[in-house]
Each structure stands twice: as C-alpha cells, then as structure tokens.
Amino acid sequence: MSGGELKKWHEIPIAGIPWKFSTEYKTGDWRSERPIINHNKCVKCLFCYIYCPEMSIKINWTSDGSRPEKVEVDYEFCKGCGICAEVCPVKAINMELEKR
C-alpha cells in the first residue's frame, strides 16, 4: 500500500508513472513473517546485507567506521521474504510469524 490519503484518478499522473520516491512506498506492510536477529549469534559477516532484495538490513558501524557493530532490520521496508535467514551462515536470523 502506498500510504497517505488516496488520490482520485485525475489527481495522479498518467501512464502508471509513480509520483513518489520509492522510499515512500513502505514495503514493510507486505510482511507475514518477521526476521529476528539474534545478536548473540550474529558474527556480522554482512551476508544478509548483501542478499536482502529490499536494502532493509541496516548496519551500525563502530565509531571509527572500521567494522560493523550491530546489524539490524529496517521493518518499514523489510517484506519478510526470509532470504537473510536463509543465507545467514550461523543461523542467527529467525523468521517469526508477524503479529499485527
């Protein structure tokens, strides 16, 4: 869903052109499963970051910027596809049923 107030047919551009930036399309509300990262297990390899199709893995870097300190999921855009859980080499990500 695009969020916000829904416009009428003559209020939007023609030809199916999107009229907002892609960051305004919250793909997060498609999710039926939610990836939960177990930070005790995570080795910060960033596989999940590379594979996530929605760029929904956020990296918090250490203050000197030399290595990742914490890896988190951006739930506004995470669509719950489970790819991150699949590729995680240490099985640090668990997919849990989304409750809304």
Partner 1 sequence: MVEEQVEMLLNGDFAVAWAWKHVEPDVVAAFPITPQTLIVEKFAEFVANGEVRTQFINVESEHSAISAMVGAAAAGARTATATAANGLQLMHEILYIVSSMRLPVMMAVANRAVSGPINIHCDHTDAMGQRDAGWIMLFTEDAQEAYDTTIQAFKISENPDVLLPTMVCLDGFLVSHTAMNLKVFGNPKIVKDFVGEVRPVARIKLMGEEVELSLNPRNKIPLTFGPFCYYDYYFEFKRQQIEAMKAVPEIVERVNKEYYELSGRLYGNGRLVPWNVDDADIVAVVMGSAAGTLRWVARKYRERGTKIGILKVRMFRPFPWEEVQKLLENKEVVAVFDRAQDAGAMVGPLSLEVLSALYYSKNRPKNTVTYIFGLGGRDLTPELAEKTFEELIRIKEGKEKPFIKKYIGVRE
- The answer to whether 92 and 77 have CB atoms below 8 angstroms apart is no
Residue 37: phi, psi to the nearest 5?
-90, 125
DSSP letter assigned to residue 6:
P
Write down the least CB distance from residue 14 to partner 1, Å: 5
- Compose the 11-50 pattern: x for residues touching ligand SF4 by CB under 6 A, - for all others: ------------------------x-x----xxxxxxx--
94 is an interface residue for ligand SF4 by CB under 6 A: no
Q: Among positive and negative, which fits the CA dihedral 70, 75, 76, 81?
A: positive
* Spatial CA neighbour of 100 closest among 1, 22, 21, 7: 1
Q: Which of the residues 63 through 92 are near ligand SF4 (CB under 6 A)? A: 71, 73, 78-84, 88, 90, 92
1 is an interface residue for partner 1 by CB under 8 A: yes
Question: Which parts of this chain interact with partner 1 (CB under 8 A)?
Answer: 1-2, 6-10, 12-20
